[in-house]
Chains A and B, each alone.
Chain A
């Protein structure tokens, strides 16, 4: 996969003129999805930003067939659609395109059920780290200390949960993280995921300009810095093998990472951090790295 090849795809995923905010990361993700999944996929979309981005009846901005469904129901609806297609001998990839709320919070039990049943569906969690569609409220994946409209002064007091690792421990055959700053990596992960029969989840890091309070022209820059500073780790688990992705691999070595402050200072949601908070965030980050490195070792032994 190369960028020119990715750009050649006929299916654009999301059309120009859609009502997404300027600099919206979801539209980057959806474009990659369009190119790779093209005419193969049916989308199931729970409540979230994409309920709006997909456009206003009688028009639709997405070049996929899609079912809009209640917030907590997506993975179950996808399971039903899959069962129906199997029963009727129909071909196609059933994809849940969800935000962090629909997948990791209100829809977590539903997602867990589908993962345990090893449903032959692909779930892409486009994680903008808060409930952005309702106006930037803290979610289960909002990082510690981030300012949101429900943690407006002190910042979020709780840890963020790791939905990809949760799915890994559901024994799902394919789990990966990705970032909107690395479309080729995301596209290749989608392609590999499609080769796996069973439950697949890709956790896509999607920095949100209005939600994180950064300039709408810097979505890719912020997403890239998340990887380069080690704040977001790209990895892939596929049928027994766990690998830190090449884009993140150099940053196993702490000294090769850019200073975390470079990533944080671009975001208004972290503007209130004290130096000791940054040190604390670095510690948490280090723990995430330690776990991921151990997981890579653990799975390479098998």
Chain B
């Protein structure tokens, strides 16, 4: 185990290197670019024995790694925002082919206006495409989750693609100390990818993806659904195993519980700003507010049971959303509300387009939420609240 100072992008690249991928393909987009620049450098310097395919679009990047993964190779790609949307069709093709492709997404707002800063709309917009979607809180976690993604996606019970989201700039371009396991240790923990049940090889006629009866399509979706459900268990196993072996200090499982023991009120968040929410929770606890945080680590498969459990033991919850579905509410907000049985859930939309939200803002949001509930105002939470303190006229 080595301790290195790495920025998020380089940490992801280190993880990919340790996973000994065979084929890498990507198209540049800010803020993801640094990940694949680092990988290209590793390949050209001979530090990493991978093939690096320089493509002309993100659609092709995912198509290249799809082809390589179908050929049995371990693969990696990365993107952000518009690049992820440009991949959209291929995302489904990869899932429906049940290939364990791993992709990092440095989250970024979707234009117009052009904006390179983080929000979560890009990664959450693809939540129906069948990928396992993890959100990292720290650089260490981005590293750990990337490495674990191979073990999770390639598990025979799963065989689904995995996307690891890290907030653009906030994680991708910020340096933190990272515990990096030794190559041999990782090689022992993460053996080479097992062969697919089928093989596309010359001389053996075999069609992948040809027309079929409608019921076959439905049965294949059902199989993928079951795999996504099984993935919950696999994520728990793999992350716990990893933490036990490498002790990097990040959480495991689908949800991290922070000060939830005995909490009467619950904040729910994903991604990097969860660190700021934790600070706000600490400050409010000192003031006597019984607030805790449930940080969702994986939004797909969605931790229904864990959240239902957490929600049932609190008076009310607030979902801090860095994404929005127009005409409805925050994406995370609607996901959480769908699993809450009786607990009222408030939804606050903040930080869209990378607007900075500090722990002080979270203190104000959480305090307001508790006070509203105690004043009996939770009936007014059906519509999401936009947190924009600089807008004075509403």
Within 8 A of B (CB), among A36-55: 39-42, 44, 51-52, 54-55
B53 and A80 contact, CB distance less than 8 A? yes
In the complex the two chains form, what is the Cα distance from A75 to B59 in whole Å? 11
Decide if B60 is an interface residue (CB 8 Å cutoff): yes
A57 and B200 contact, CB distance less than 8 A? no
Mostly, the B contact residues are mixed
Cβ 8 A contact of B67, one of A64, A77, A117: A77
Decide if B305 is an interface residue (CB 8 Å cutoff): no
Decide if A135 is an interface residue (CB 8 Å cutoff): no
**Closest approach, in angstroms, between the C-beta of B62 and any C-beta of chain A?**
8
Residues of A within 8 A of B326 (CB): none
Decide if B112 is an interface residue (CB 8 Å cutoff): no
Decide if B226 is an interface residue (CB 8 Å cutoff): no
Residues of B within 8 A of A113 (CB): 55-57, 60
In the complex the two chains form, what is the Cα distance from A83 to B212 in whole Å? 29
A83 and B63 contact, CB distance less than 8 A? no
Cβ 8 A contact of B63, one of A51, A55, A73: A73
Decide if B389 is an interface residue (CB 8 Å cutoff): no
**Closest approach, in angstroms, between the C-beta of A198 and any C-beta of chain B?**
15
In the complex the two chains form, what is the Cα distance from A75 to B61 in whole Å? 11
Given A70-B89, A80-B71: A93 touches B202 (CB 8 Å cut-off) = yes
A110 and B59 contact, CB distance less than 8 A? yes
Convert B39-79 into 0s and 1s, putting 1 for each residue whose CB lies closer than 8 angstroms to a CB of A: 00000000000110111110111011111111111010000
Decide if B203 is an interface residue (CB 8 Å cutoff): yes
Nearest-neighbor residue (CB-CB) of B60 within chain A = A76
Decide if B244 is an interface residue (CB 8 Å cutoff): no
**Closest approach, in angstroms, between the C-beta of A20 and any C-beta of chain B?**
13
Given A65-B200, A79-B64: A88 touches B71 (CB 8 Å cut-off) = yes
Nearest-neighbor residue (CB-CB) of A77 within chain B = B67
Given A51-B210, A73-B59, A110-B60: A80 touches B25 (CB 8 Å cut-off) = yes
Cβ 8 A contact of B73, one of A63, A78, A88: A88
Given A52-B211, A113-B56: A69 touches B23 (CB 8 Å cut-off) = no
B23 and A57 contact, CB distance less than 8 A? no
B89 and A60 contact, CB distance less than 8 A? no
**Closest approach, in angstroms, between the C-beta of B21 and any C-beta of chain A?**
9
B57 and A109 contact, CB distance less than 8 A? yes
How many B residues face the partner with a CB closer than 8 A? Answer: 43
Cβ 8 A contact of A65, one of B73, B89, B205: B205
Cβ 8 A contact of B211, one of A57, A65, A110, A117: A57
Cβ 8 A contact of A88, one of B22, B67, B205, B210: B22
Given A39-B202, A92-B201, A112-B56: A81 touches B211 (CB 8 Å cut-off) = no
Decide if B113 is an interface residue (CB 8 Å cutoff): no
Nearest-neighbor residue (CB-CB) of A72 within chain B = B59
Nearest-neighbor residue (CB-CB) of B207 within chain A = A60
Decide if A90 is an interface residue (CB 8 Å cutoff): yes
Instruction: Specify which of B25, B51, B55, B210 lies most central, judged by the most chain A CB atoms within 10 Å of its CB.
Output: B210
A76 and B23 contact, CB distance less than 8 A? no
Residues of B within 8 A of A (CB): 22-23, 25, 50-51, 53-57, 59-61, 63-73, 75, 89-90, 93, 200-213, 216
Which 9 pairs across A and B sit closest by C-beta, in order of nearness? A80-B67, A84-B71, A57-B212, A76-B63, A113-B56, A68-B209, A73-B63, A76-B60, A77-B67
Residues of A within 8 A of B (CB): 39-42, 44, 51-52, 54-58, 60, 62-70, 72-88, 90-93, 109-110, 112-113, 116-117
